[in-house]
Structure 1
């Protein structure tokens, strides 16, 4: 039972720090663009411009 003297404050501190981190991320706009992330993964922005225009499904 003595271990509860350490576990309860540790749980409260970790929970509070998680809540503070969540509120900080909300304040800084981390969740403003929920639609953009799903479209960014489909973007081929890492391809060079010449290759992106001429590459087709059978291009090598």
Structure 2
């Protein structure tokens, strides 16, 4: 039962770290254009192809 004294604050601390990481990515603009990312993967770009021998 005494392990809960350690695990409860540790889990709250880890949750706060995850929330801070999410907030940081949200403020940095990581989620601004999800539809643009989805359509850019379909664009044929010759510079992305491997060189053929």
Instruction: Tell me, yes or no, whether TM beats 0.5.
Output: yes
Structure 2: segments with no counterpart, 5+ residues: none
Runs of 4+ in 1 over 2 A off after TM superposition: none
Instruction: Name the larger-Rg structure.
Output: 1
TM-score (norm 1): 0.70
Bigger helix share:
2
Q: How many residues align?
A: 48
TM-score (norm 2): 0.78
Structure 1: segments with no counterpart, 5+ residues: 49-60
> Considering only aligned residues, what root-mean-square deviation do their CA atoms show, in Å?
1.5
